[in-house]
Chain A
């Protein structure tokens, strides 16, 4: 039995703790590869990966591309904005056509929740979800967990505050699933307008950031996603910062050795103050390195094994 017995990575929700553990352990095992004089291993030679991005992305897409290059997979990246999607081609047609070129994996980011699951039902390739709507962003949650585990030595029992635009955040959803499966204690904080209804079934909710930060081992700040906002969720970014922004003063409510994470891109001066983002507790750049490792681990676990996987 393989350590990671699935053909795809569609989300964190269907995974068991042992599968999450396997991905994190593999990522740790790969860490030294990035420190080598020649940062390339032949592991996935001859494998082809298509990165299909229907939404803008810097970190996630470049991170997948670096991971593919380090493991010697051949990859091509398609940005929807510069492709036939603009001519009205459907998602399924695009992917069926790409599949005719025989890729081993499709990494997809899409504005609609469930797009990767739809592809997994219709395609032969392994599908990796690189963010689907407001649903899940599994590799982000995995890299956050890898960063927490690297710095704290464990996930179990950590108190983690997730603060910001939870309503539109796939990062928040994946992280809530992952952290609670691994035994961490999660508290969610947002203005009531940015808190999805029913979320309190997954984790405790507060509307006061001071309460959320009390005794926290880690603070995950989320980006205010203005591009997804169809109405007026809060009066102004300035008021949001005053009520919910992470300032140095508020950080002092957390534990002294608190870690501050942000999935990027940051809105400095809105959800996070610059002094905090660049301060000693910030592990935002460690997250980026760990992102490459987690994606290498996912590529290795999905493409490295044989038919039985």
Chain B
């Protein structure tokens, strides 16, 4: 796996074993909170939220005996920064092939950061119907929220600086299970702290900000 340009690994946050244990614990919490599983569904946010949602659904299925359905959201068309990013992301398509009216939808993503992705995912999800309840499960909550959004299930909560990137690697997408904290390579200009004008803030342009 090549890291985003200008970044290098600083610290490993999870290895494969710890990632597996974290997901198992999250699945357990979900089962505990929803003893009657009948109306539970998982919806992953592309790209790495989707394999995470599948794994959680399998784990929940093993614990409870009935495996919830899994969908995928591509939030590209709902982003609030399409006009400020230079290149449009490639679209992979949304796939929610079951009715969500009245059900409990657990939205799954790898990293919770500004909350803008979740905002877009909520907007897209309610265009598919009226779920009875939506919950949020993330593998890593790294802080720096820009919206009033918080996770119902967080695998791990870590303090980060805005200059860092939390990179989740998954077998299905990247060939290995790992979570790594990346920092800027020395000599690269640091970003300003605090709220900077949107355009002035360097973002990893072609991907969701982590």
Chain A contact residues, CB within 8 Å of chain B: 1-3, 25-26, 28-33, 36-38, 40-43, 71, 300-301, 304-309
Q: A25-B90, A38-B127 are in contact. List 10 more A-B contacts (CB 8 A).
A: A29-B93, A36-B94, A71-B77, A300-B77, A305-B83, A305-B86, A305-B87, A306-B83, A308-B86, A309-B88
Kindly provide the distance from the CB of A122 to the nearest chain B CB, expressed in whole angstroms: 24
Closest 6 CB pairs of A and B: A29-B91, A308-B86, A41-B77, A2-B87, A43-B77, A38-B127
User: Size band of the B side of the interface?
Assistant: 20 to 34
Chain B contact residues, CB within 8 Å of chain A: 74, 76-79, 82-88, 90-95, 123-124, 127-129
**Are A29's CB and B92's CB within 8 A?**
yes
Q: Which residues of A contact B88 (CB under 8 A)?
A: 2-3, 26, 300-301, 304-305, 309
Task: Decide: A306 near B128, CB < 8 A? Known: A30-B91, A41-B77, A42-B123.
Answer: no
Whole-angstrom CA separation of A36 from B99 in the bound complex: 11
Q: Which residues of B contact A31 (CB under 8 A)?
A: 93
Whole-angstrom CA separation of A38 from B86 in the bound complex: 28
**Are B90's CB and A37's CB within 8 A?**
no
**Are B94's CB and A32's CB within 8 A?**
yes
Kindly provide the distance from the CB of A234 to the nearest chain B CB, expressed in whole angstroms: 46
**Are A32's CB and B93's CB within 8 A?**
yes
> What is the predominant secondary structure among interface residues of chain A facing chain B?
loop
Q: Can you list 28 A-B pairs, Cβ within 8 angstroms, ordered by A?
A: A2-B86, A3-B87, A3-B88, A25-B90, A26-B91, A29-B74, A29-B76, A29-B90, A29-B93, A30-B77, A36-B128, A38-B127, A38-B128, A40-B127, A41-B77, A41-B78, A42-B77, A42-B78, A42-B123, A43-B79, A300-B77, A304-B88, A305-B82, A305-B83, A305-B86, A305-B88, A306-B85, A309-B87
**Are B87's CB and A37's CB within 8 A?**
no
Q: Which residues of B contact A307 (CB under 8 A)?
A: 86
Q: Residue on A with the closest CB to B79?
A: A43
Q: Which residues of A contact B127 (CB under 8 A)?
A: 36-38, 40-41
Kindly provide the distance from the CB of B44 to the nearest chain A CB, expressed in whole angstroms: 15
**Are A306's CB and B84's CB within 8 A?**
yes
Q: Which residues of A contact B124 (CB under 8 A)?
A: 41
Task: Decide: A1 near B87, CB < 8 A? Known: A29-B92, A37-B128, A38-B127.
Answer: yes
Q: Which residues of A contact B74 (CB under 8 A)?
A: 29
Q: Residue on A with the closest CB to B94?
A: A32
Kindly provide the distance from the CB of B23 to the nearest chain A CB, expressed in whole angstroms: 28
Whole-angstrom CA separation of A43 from B124 in the bound complex: 11
Q: Residue on B with the closest CB to A70?
A: B77
Kindly provide the distance from the CB of A248 to the nearest chain B CB, expressed in whole angstroms: 38
Kindly provide the distance from the CB of A138 to the nearest chain B CB, expressed in whole angstroms: 19
Q: Which residues of B contact A309 (CB under 8 A)?
A: 86-88
Kindly provide the distance from the CB of A302 to the nearest chain B CB, expressed in whole angstroms: 10
**Are B78's CB and A43's CB within 8 A?**
yes
Kindly provide the distance from the CB of A187 to the nearest chain B CB, expressed in whole angstroms: 34
Q: Which residues of A contact B87 (CB under 8 A)?
A: 1-3, 305, 308-309
